[in-house]
């Protein structure tokens, strides 16, 4: 279990993480999403005790990250943004080294290599691996000591779609084993697929936190209609008539009352002799949630 | 568990690098083959001044002789000296025009030597003057035998020993550079920091790994060189000195690698720092050649190695070893400070201010940091002062006042830099922090000078006190925003004490 209370990190005058309070239960995956430079990696590094917080507290499985940092590191598996590997070691040597440093895990090496699909390449030097393979051996390294808590920073960054899906599947499998997992990502489809809960972080602060459906519902309080007509030339006039905006091949109009708005659209189209091809309500995706929360205002 | 594991894996990594091991083996073989060549060259040197072996030294010292005296034949035997026999007026004219370095005038009491301070030949001139004086006093067996009981060949053989023993340390100390710089460059250091191993263990394992490697090679090297004529009276003592020097160079390399931008810069900077350390100690050892400077050679551990080869029975330089360990510990603390910085956690090169913050993070106390900074200031002072001594002699000549003033200014300035980094805000804080810096500095200096300043322990307390007081003054001055004035007062106080010592012991 991970809990933070007003966790803050400042670098001089710059506040990278500003009073972040989050909670992740056992067997749960929390996604921390945010734009580049939002403070995700800094938050992760504090939880892994690589950086000391400026203020606030955090506990992992009841252990304080400041006071019990060594114990925290023994129960956390950390996967950084880019694979950090020793190119001159083989996969087996690499895992054996970290197993020795953690003081356990040697017996798990064959199982882990199988888990990440690298059994056949165990005796090859990691320097010869592709990027996807390096990611996978990095994941195996994070799991070597069977940690109850996993912290994954952008686990699929730079991977092709097949490798990305592979890693996501493995992360979901680990959740079944009861592990507490925190995933940092800026891929919203990944967050939607993996996470039980999301925390949107922007400029160091938590802008929104909750289950994906809850966040969508929050944002979707303001509903919109999309209108597509046959006559491109009439789009501008129709948009002006109904108080909407053109977005590519569609017009987006804010809904004040669903029935009245739909009626207004039909009435305006008739007046202009425009042929309506479709009128739909617009449901926010997580990407829309992200934009709405981080940029403020409308989610379209 | 973490430290031992990392050392084991570190050694495994070094040993599995066959190319590196091969290059070391080839280097050692070539060096062993050159030992007999060097020894033969030594044997072929003529008796006389060391410099006479060099072709460029022929006629380096020109002496005008007025009158007939047996010293003329002695001078003429030495290829370094060119003798011009002439009358007194011509001789003095030549001296005034700078065409001769000295005039020897034969008179009823034997003779007198008039020298002239021309740069470049100062050392040669002083050697000649010394030899002439001794000849006149008839208290040496031969005018220009620099160490007559040893013989030139024996002396040169003994000077070759530290050269042959210390220069391989350049190569033996390389693994730590690659270890730190490589891990920072490809950011593996982040995942290491996320393991239960502490930063201390991670750093210590790297240094220990390289030290074990260097010590194994050192033992092998000492075993092999004895087959080529280099035998040590106390091999164990020499091995301790060699290992201590290895530890110093390895730790300095670790420090430099931690603050370098990339592996290439780390390798270059480490080469420079290793060169400075080895050259500094070897240069100080060379001073043993000349009677006037022999005592200063005790400041170098290389001298001990030279003495062991020459068969001299000399005590193990415990004080000097303590100073080396202090400098090593200081370098280790600074490296650990770099490891503790936030910049390092992001695999970025830490700046000097961040190094200080890292040090505070480790020591958790500004006062402890001040004490540590005193040792840092002392460590930096040594090579700077050596350069200053050389420059003073080269440009101005053997002026005691200028020499002492330059050394005083250097010491107070470097201690002041430490105070500037600490930035005391209140007068009391400035006094305490400055005092602590001075205390550490003074203690290190006393340990270093102990072998050559044969004075009572109680008297040595005074220089430590002077250092503490002068730095305390600078600390107070910083807090009161009168830094420059305080620095000038500190320099004046320190210089006054130095001049008192010179007057007292003249």
pLDDT tens profile B240-254 = 999 999 999 999 999
The answer to whether the Cβ–Cβ distance between B13 and A48 falls below 8 Å is no
Cα separation of the two ends of chain B: 59
Nearest CA in chain B to A145: B195
> Does A103 lie at the interface with B, CB-CB under 8 angstroms?
yes
Residue B323 is predicted with a pLDDT of: 83
DSSP symbol at A34: -
Nearest CA in chain B to A11: B342
Number of neighbours of residue B56 by Cβ within 10 angstroms? 7
List the single residue in A70, A84, A100 with the smallest CB-CB distance to B188.
A84
Residue B150 is predicted with a pLDDT of: 45
Nearest CA in chain B to A48: B194
The ipTM estimated for the assembled molecules is: 0.80
Query: The tokens of A61 are what?
Result: 């499985």
> Does A86 lie at the interface with B, CB-CB under 8 angstroms?
yes
- Contact list, A82 vs chain B (CB under 8 Å): 187
Give the C-alpha separation, A121 to A119, whole Å. Answer: 5
B266 vs B82, which has greater pLDDT? B266
pLDDT tens-place string over residues A11-40: 888 899 999 999 998 889 999 988 888 888
When pLDDT is averaged across residues A65-92 and rounded to a whole number, the result is 92
- Contact list, A100 vs chain B (CB under 8 Å): 1, 5, 8-9
Q: Which has the minimum average pLDDT: A143-152, A172-181, B390-399, B413-422?
A: B390-399
- Contact list, B6 vs chain A (CB under 8 Å): 101
CB–CB of A20/A8 below 8 Å? yes
Give the C-alpha separation, B270 to B181, whole Å. Answer: 11
List the single residue in B9, B13, B190 with the smallest CB-CB distance to A50.
B190
Name, of A23-32, B1-10, B319-328, the range with top average pLDDT. Answer: A23-32
Give the whole-number percent of chain A exceeding pLDDT 90. Answer: 47
Per-residue buried b or exposed e for B76-115, using 16+ beta carbons within 10 Å of the residue's own CB: eebbbbbbeebeeeebbebbeeeebbbbbbbeeeebebeb
Q: What Cα–Cα distance (Å) separates residue B487 from each residue in A258, B353, B469, B484?
A: 80, 22, 12, 5
> Does A5 lie at the interface with B, CB-CB under 8 angstroms?
no
The answer to whether the Cβ–Cβ distance between B187 and A82 falls below 8 Å is yes
Domain A2-215 matches domain A221-282 at the CATH topology level:
no
CB–CB of B189/B338 below 8 Å? no
The CATH homologous superfamily to which domain A221-282 belongs is YebC, transcriptional regulation domain (3.30.70.980)
User: Is it the case that residue B127 has pLDDT exceeding 70?
Assistant: no
- Size of chain B, expressed as the number of residues it contains: 506
Q: Which has the minimum average pLDDT: A96-110, A248-262, B196-210, B367-381?
A: A248-262
B199 pLDDT band, cuts 50/70/90, is very high
Name, of A5-19, A164-178, B52-66, B294-308, the range with top average pLDDT. Answer: A5-19
Nearest CA in chain B to A88: B13
A218 vs A210, which has greater pLDDT? A210
User: Is it the case that residue B151 has pLDDT exceeding 60?
Assistant: no
CB–CB of B116/B98 below 8 Å? yes
Largest Cα separation within chain A, whole Å, is 78
The answer to whether the Cβ–Cβ distance between B195 and A103 falls below 8 Å is no
> Does A50 lie at the interface with B, CB-CB under 8 angstroms?
yes
Give the C-alpha separation, A28 to A179, whole Å. Answer: 7
The answer to whether the Cβ–Cβ distance between B191 and A51 falls below 8 Å is no
Q: Which has the minimum average pLDDT: A84-93, A282-291, B186-195?
A: A282-291
The answer to whether the Cβ–Cβ distance between A87 and B9 falls below 8 Å is no
User: Is it the case that residue B118 has pLDDT exceeding 50?
Assistant: no
Rounded CA Rg of chain A? 24
B396 pLDDT band, cuts 50/70/90, is confident
When pLDDT is averaged across residues B72-83 and rounded to a whole number, the result is 70
CATH number belonging to the domain at A2-215, selected among 3.40.50.1000, 3.40.50.300, 3.50.40.10, 3.60.20.10:
3.40.50.300
Nearest CA in chain A to B195: A73
User: Is it the case that residue B394 has pLDDT exceeding 50?
Assistant: yes
User: Is it the case that residue B24 has pLDDT exceeding 50?
Assistant: yes
Residue B494 is predicted with a pLDDT of: 94
Give the whole-number percent of chain A exceeding pLDDT 70. Answer: 94
Residue B204 is predicted with a pLDDT of: 95
> What pairs with residue B461 in β-bridges?
none
User: Is it the case that residue B47 has pLDDT exceeding 60?
Assistant: no
B411 pLDDT band, cuts 50/70/90, is very high
- Contact list, B5 vs chain A (CB under 8 Å): 97, 100-101
Residue B245 is predicted with a pLDDT of: 92
B112 vs B277, which has greater pLDDT? B277
Summary mean pLDDT of chain B: 80
User: Is it the case that residue A131 has pLDDT exceeding 60?
Assistant: yes
A129 vs B462, which has greater pLDDT? A129
Residue A221 is predicted with a pLDDT of: 63
Per-residue buried b or exposed e for B254-284, using 16+ beta carbons within 10 Å of the residue's own CB: bbbbbbbeebeebbebbbebbeebbebbbeb
> Does A141 lie at the interface with B, CB-CB under 8 angstroms?
yes
B101 vs B184, which has greater pLDDT? B184
List the single residue in A45, A82, A102 with the smallest CB-CB distance to B195.
A102
List the single residue in A51, A52, A80 with the smallest CB-CB distance to B191.
A80
The answer to whether the Cβ–Cβ distance between A52 and B361 falls below 8 Å is yes
Write down the domain spans for chain B: 50-137
User: Is it the case that residue A239 has pLDDT exceeding 80?
Assistant: yes
Best mutation target among A101, A139, A141 (most B Cβ atoms within 10 Å) is A101
The answer to whether the Cβ–Cβ distance between A86 and B188 falls below 8 Å is yes
User: Is it the case that residue B217 has pLDDT exceeding 90?
Assistant: yes
List the single residue in B6, B190, B342 with the smallest CB-CB distance to A101.
B6
Best mutation target among B11, B195, B198, B263 (most A Cβ atoms within 10 Å) is B195
Name, of B124-128, B226-230, B361-365, the range with top average pLDDT. Answer: B361-365
DSSP-assigned states of every residue in B320-383: HHHHHHHHHHHHHHHHHHHHHSHHHHTT----HHHHHHHHHHHH--HHHHHHHHHHHHHHHHHH
Give the C-alpha separation, B132 to A298, whole Å. Answer: 99
Q: Which has the minimum average pLDDT: B160-169, B174-183, B287-296?
A: B287-296
pTM: 0.77
Q: Which has the minimum average pLDDT: A106-110, B124-128, B135-139, B212-216?
A: B135-139
> Does A51 lie at the interface with B, CB-CB under 8 angstroms?
yes
Write down the domain spans for chain A: 2-215, 221-282
User: Is it the case that residue B293 has pLDDT exceeding 90?
Assistant: no
Q: Given CATH 3.40.190.10, say whether it is the number of domain B50-137.
A: yes
Q: Which has the minimum average pLDDT: A96-105, A254-263, B344-353?
A: B344-353
């Amino acid at each position: 279990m991970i809990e933070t209370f007003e966790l803050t990190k400042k670098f001089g005058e710059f506040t990278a993480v500003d009073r972040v309070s989050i909670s992740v239960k056992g067997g749960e995956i929390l996604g921390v999403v945010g734009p580049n430079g939002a403070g995700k990696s800094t938050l992760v590094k504090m939880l892994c005790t690589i950086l000391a917080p400026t203020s606030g507290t955090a506990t992992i499985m009841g252990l304080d990250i400041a006071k019990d940092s060594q114990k925290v590191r023994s129960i956390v598996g950390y996967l950084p943004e880019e694979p950090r590997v020793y190119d001159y070691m083989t996969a087996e040597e690499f895992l054996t080294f970290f197993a020795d440093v953690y003081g356990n895990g040697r017996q798990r090496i064959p199982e882990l290599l199988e888990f990440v699909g690298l059994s056949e390449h165990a005796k090859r030097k990691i320097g010869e691996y592709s990027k996807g393979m390096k990611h996978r051996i990095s994941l195996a390294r994070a799991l070597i000591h069977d940690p109850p808590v996993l912290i994954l920073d952008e686990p699929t960054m730079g991977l092709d779609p097949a490798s990305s899906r592979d890693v996501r599947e493995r992360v979901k499998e680990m959740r079944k084993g009861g592990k507490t997992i925190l995933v940092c990502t800026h891929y919203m489809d990944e967050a939607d697929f993996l996470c039980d809960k999301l925390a949107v972080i922007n400029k160091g602060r938590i802008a929104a936190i909750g289950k994906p459906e809850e966040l969508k519902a929050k944002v979707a309080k303001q509903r919109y209609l999309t209108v597509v007509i046959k006559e491109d030339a009439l789009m501008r006039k129709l948009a002006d008539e109904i108080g909407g905006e053109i977005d590519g091949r569609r017009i987006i109009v804010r809904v004040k009352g669903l029935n009245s708005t739909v009626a207004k659209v039909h009435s305006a189209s008739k007046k202009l002799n425009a042929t309506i091809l479709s009128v739909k309500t617009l449901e926010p995706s997580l990407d829309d949630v992200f934009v709405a929360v981080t940029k403020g205002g409308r989610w379209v | 568990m973490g430290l031992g594991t990392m050392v084991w894996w570190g050694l495994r990594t070094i040993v599995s690098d066959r190319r590196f091991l091969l290059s070391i083996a080839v280097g050692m073989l070539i060096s062993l083959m050159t030992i007999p060549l060097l020894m033969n060259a030594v044997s072929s040197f003529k008796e006389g001044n060391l410099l006479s072996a060099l072709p460029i030294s022929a006629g380096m010292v020109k002496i005008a002789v007025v009158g007939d005296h047996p010293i003329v034949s002695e001078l003429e035997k030495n290829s370094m000296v060119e003798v011009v026999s002439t009358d007194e007026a011509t001789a003095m004219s030549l001296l005034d025009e700078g065409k001769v370095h000295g005039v020897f005038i034969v008179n009823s009491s034997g003779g007198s030597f008039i020298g002239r301070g021309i740069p470049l030949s100062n050392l040669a001139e002083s050697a000649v003057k010394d030899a002439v004086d001794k000849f006149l006093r008839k208290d040496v067996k031969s005018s220009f035998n620099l160490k007559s009981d040893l013989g030139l060949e024996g002396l040169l053989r003994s000077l070759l020993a530290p050269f042959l023993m210390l220069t391989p340390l350049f190569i033996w100390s390389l693994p730590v550079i690659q270890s730190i710089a490589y891990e920072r460059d490809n950011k593996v250091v982040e995942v290491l920091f996320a393991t239960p191993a502490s930063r201390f263990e991670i750093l210590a394992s790297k240094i220990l790994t390289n030290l074990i490697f260097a010590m194994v090679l050192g033992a092998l090297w000492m075993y092999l060189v004895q087959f080529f004529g280099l035998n040590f009276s106390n091999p164990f003592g020499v091995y301790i000195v060699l290992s201590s020097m290895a530890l110093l160079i390895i730790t300095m390399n670790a420090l430099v690698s931690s603050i370098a931008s990339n592996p290439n810069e780390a390798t270059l900077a480490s080469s420079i720092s290793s060169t400075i350390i080895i050259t500094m100690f070897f240069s100080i050892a060379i001073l043993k050649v000349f009677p006037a400077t022999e005592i200063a050679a005790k400041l170098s551990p290389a001298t001990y190695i030279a003495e062991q080869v020459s068969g001299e029975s000399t005590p193990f330089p415990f004080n000097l070893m303590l100073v080396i360990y202090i400098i090593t510990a200081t370098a280790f603390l600074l490296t650990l400070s770099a490891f503790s910085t936030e910049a390092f956690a992001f695999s970025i090169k830490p700046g000097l201010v961040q190094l200080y913050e890292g040090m505070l993070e480790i020591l958790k106390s500004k006062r402890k940091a001040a004490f540590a900074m005193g040792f840092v200031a002392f460590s930096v002072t040594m090579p700077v002062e050596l350069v200053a001594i050389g420059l003073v002699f080269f440009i101005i000549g053997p002026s005691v006042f200028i020499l002492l003033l330059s050394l005083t200014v250097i010491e107070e300035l470097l201690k002041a830099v430490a105070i500037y980094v600490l930035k005391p805000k209140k007068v009391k804080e400035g006094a305490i922090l400055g005092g602590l810096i001075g205390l550490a500095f003074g203690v290190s200096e006393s340990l270093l000078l102990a072998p050559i300043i044969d004075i009572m322990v109680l008297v040595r307390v005074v220089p430590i006190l002077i250092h503490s007081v002068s730095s305390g003054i600078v600390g107070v001055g910083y807090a009161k925003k009168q830094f420059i004035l305080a620095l000038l007062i500190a320099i004046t106080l320190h210089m006054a004490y130095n001049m008192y010592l010179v007057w007292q012991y003249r």
